[in-house]
Amino acid sequence: MEFITGKHIARRTFLRGMGATVALPFLDAMVPAGRLWSDAMREQGAMRLVCMEEPHGVAGSNDWGAKQHLFAPETVGRNFSMNPENVLKPLEPFQDYMTIVSNTDVRMAEAWDPAEIGGDHFRSSAVFLTQSHPKQTQGSDLYAGVSLDQLYANRFGQETPIPSMQLCIDNTDQSGGCHYNYACAYTDSISWASPTQPLPLVRDPRVVFEMLFGVGGTEAERIVRRRENRSILDWITGEVAGLKRELGAADQRRMDQYLNDVRELERRIELVEARNLSGEDRQLPEAPVGVPDSFEEHMHIMFDLQLLAFESDVTRVFSFKWGRDGSNRTFPESGIDRPIHPASHHGENEERILEWNKLHQWRMNTLPYFLEKLENTMEGDSHLLDKTMVIWGSPMADGNLHNHRRCPLVAIGGANGELEGNVHLKAPDGTPMANAMLGLLHKLGLDEMNSFGDSTSVLSFSAPSTSPMAAANDAS
């Protein structure tokens, strides 16, 4: 490949070897002489977006859990505090980047006619990012809406090699019809490119890695790599050495750290594959060989893949489904023995509600790993957490009742200065979650949109200016 000599190289510079294409992180050498870092970064970097769905709701969305503030903090407005049992408590170190939205409804996930009653799990994932009611069908005539992540990718992701990526943790590759006359495609995706086109999710970290780094362009190249058991970086050593001669000391260190991160992640994926091929019994015998049996390990690897993609600007948009609706998977590390879906049916028993909450708080404890990585990754004069919007939420509220009122929603990150953080916004009763989604779309730069899903207005993300007494009254 060609390198531009001197102090400037193109942002879209790739290191290429046999079947490997490695994009670079943003370097000082990518800023033309005489330009300011801030100007260059504004031109090259739309904010990053990650949309995460927790499919089964949270304990703080039932009546008793809400009174215990298991999701919505008691304090409304700025400088909220969370009790130890709050499902978001693991995110407390990042409170200055948190915008909690409580008391919004996802009515598009509710049954509209008697034939739809009971099918909440089999349509709600399709609703989360579209806020549109799915057509009940087991055929190919699917219909929902365009999802928030795809609206953003259509505007700001087209100049990246991969406009968006869709990831998941549990199996979502069923075909045909699921229960209650809903096609499995509705539960198998949260991203919709059009009302009739759900996008498939990728569960296997190896597949994601090879999508990001173009590993093995042909089957013959993949066979050679497997036979020789070499890292993708071994195929580009000459390219790396040639590029580093053009870089200053700071950029060389940045390059070394980035390539070390790539190699380390590749090594971890290989260790998972070796362990799963060892013949030992697996907790997830149906999972691909690259999928860790450990939920926590799987989450961490998927987060690291997203981080590398953001660093190299291969893509700016991810959707990430944390589980499958109706799953019977257990999580022994959480201290809760019951499978996740049965655990959501707590029967209004307070002890079982707290067990359900403990399971979700344990799952939430994986997210700070990603947020810390974003915060520790500099890009120019700020870090990636300042330039990212993470949306986490659920289209389900109380999993025990399968209802969709008082659903959880949180936005995390600086979003290029668009989100103030450290605020809990409590919406008026009956507010559609779509109002909050529309407000987030405006923050993402799609401020010409007048509606989204069943929105009735735009939810403001500015902190209310209330006194502590008024905030307490609001919370009650």
Q: What was the pLDDT predicted at 231? A: 84
Closest-CA residue to 56 (of 281, 457, 468, 359): 359
- HSE-CB of 308 using CA atoms within 13 angstroms: 26
Residue 226 lies in a domain: no
Q: What was the pLDDT predicted at 381? A: 85
Pull the structure tokens for residue 371. 């947020």
* 73 band by pLDDT with thresholds 50, 70 and 90: very high
The mean pLDDT of 87-92, rounded to a whole number, is 98
Task: Please state, in angstroms and rounded to a whole number, the distance separating the CA atoms of residues 411 and 476.
Answer: 23
414 touches 97 (CB < 8 A): yes
* 23 band by pLDDT with thresholds 50, 70 and 90: very high
Q: What was the pLDDT predicted at 127? A: 98
Pull the structure tokens for residue 3. 């390198």
* 476 band by pLDDT with thresholds 50, 70 and 90: very low
Residue 413 lies in a domain: yes
Q: What was the pLDDT predicted at 235? A: 82
Q: Does the pLDDT value for residue 473 go beyond 60?
A: no
Pull the structure tokens for residue 464. 């209310």
Q: Does the pLDDT value for residue 216 go beyond 80?
A: no
Q: What was the pLDDT predicted at 45? A: 57
With a CB cutoff of 8 Å and minimum separation 6, the contacts of 102 are 71, 72, 406, 408, 409, 424, 425, 426, 427
Q: What was the pLDDT predicted at 2? A: 38
Closest-CA residue to 367 (of 350, 396, 398, 388): 388
The mean pLDDT of 233-262, rounded to a whole number, is 92
**Could you tell me the residue range of the domain that residue 326 belongs to?**
45-203+291-475
Residue 280 lies in a domain: no
* 467 band by pLDDT with thresholds 50, 70 and 90: very low
* Residue owning tokens 């709050």: 86
pLDDT (tens digit, 9 = 90+) per residue, 248-264?
Answer: 999 999 999 999 999 99
pLDDT (tens digit, 9 = 90+) per residue, 144-187?
Answer: 999 999 999 999 999 999 999 999 999 876 655 588 999 999 99
* 227 band by pLDDT with thresholds 50, 70 and 90: low
* 217 band by pLDDT with thresholds 50, 70 and 90: low
Secondary structure of the chain in the HEC alphabet? CCCCCCCCCCCCCEEEECCEEEECCCCHHHCCCCCCHHHHHHHHCCCEEEEEECCCCCHHHCHHHHHCCCCCCCCCEECCCCCCCCCCHHHHHHHHHEEEEEEEECHHHCCCCHHHCCCHHHCHHHHHCCCCCCCCCCCCCCCCCCCHHHHHHHHHCCCCCCCCEEEECCCCCCCCECCCCCEHHHCCCCCEEECCEECCCECCHHHHHHHHHCCCCCHHHHHHHHHHCCCHHHHHHHHHHHHHCCCCHHHHHHHHHHHHHHHHHHHHHHHHHHHHCCCCCCCCCCCCCCCCCCHHHHHHHHHHHHHHHHHHCCCCEEEEECCCCCCCCCEHHHCECCCHHHHHCCCCCHHHHHHHHHHHHHHHCCHHHHHHHHHCCEECCEEHHHHEEEEEECCCCCCCCCCCCCEEEEEECCHHHCCCCCEEEEEEEEEEHHHHHHHHHHHCCCCCCCCCCCCCCCCCCCCCCCCHHHHHHHHC
Residue type, 68: Q
The mean pLDDT of 410-433, rounded to a whole number, is 97
pLDDT (tens digit, 9 = 90+) per residue, 279-318?
Answer: 999 999 999 999 999 999 999 999 999 999 999 999 999 9
Using CA atoms, how far residue 307 sits from 253, 257, 261, 322, 331, in Å, is 18, 13, 10, 17, 25
Range scoring the smallest mean pLDDT among 26-35, 44-53, 80-89, 406-415: 26-35
Q: Does the pLDDT value for residue 445 go beyond 90?
A: yes
16 touches 1 (CB < 8 A): yes
The mean pLDDT of 220-244, rounded to a whole number, is 78
Mean pLDDT, the chain, rounded, equals: 90
On the 0-12 / 13-18 / 19+ scale of CB atoms within 10 A, 2 is exposed
* 36 band by pLDDT with thresholds 50, 70 and 90: low
Q: What was the pLDDT predicted at 462? A: 85
* Residue owning tokens 């509606």: 451
Q: Does the pLDDT value for residue 425 go beyond 60?
A: yes
CATH number at residue 93: 3.40.720.10
Residue 136 lies in a domain: yes
Residue 336 lies in a domain: yes
On the 0-12 / 13-18 / 19+ scale of CB atoms within 10 A, 449 is middle
Q: What was the pLDDT predicted at 471? A: 41
Q: What was the pLDDT predicted at 4? A: 39
End-to-end CA distance of the chain: 64
Would you say the pTM of this structure is higher than 0.85? Answer: yes
The total domain count for the chain is: 1
Residue 97 lies in a domain: yes
Residue 18 lies in a domain: no
* 232 band by pLDDT with thresholds 50, 70 and 90: confident
Q: What was the pLDDT predicted at 221? A: 66
Residue 216 lies in a domain: no
175-210 exposure pattern, b = at least 16 Cβ within 10 A, e = fewer: eeebebebbbbbbbbbbbbebeebbebbbbbbebbb
Q: Does the pLDDT value for residue 383 go beyond 70?
A: yes
Range scoring the smallest mean pLDDT among 15-29, 244-258, 293-307, 351-365: 15-29
Q: What was the pLDDT predicted at 1? A: 35
Pull the structure tokens for residue 366. 């994986």
Q: Does the pLDDT value for residue 9 go beyond 50?
A: yes
Q: Does the pLDDT value for residue 41 go beyond 60?
A: no
Q: What was the pLDDT predicted at 10? A: 86
* 229 band by pLDDT with thresholds 50, 70 and 90: low
pLDDT (tens digit, 9 = 90+) per residue, 311-353?
Answer: 999 999 999 999 999 999 999 999 999 999 999 999 999 999 9
Q: Does the pLDDT value for residue 44 go beyond 60?
A: no
The mean pLDDT of 209-233, rounded to a whole number, is 73
* 234 band by pLDDT with thresholds 50, 70 and 90: confident
* 8 band by pLDDT with thresholds 50, 70 and 90: confident
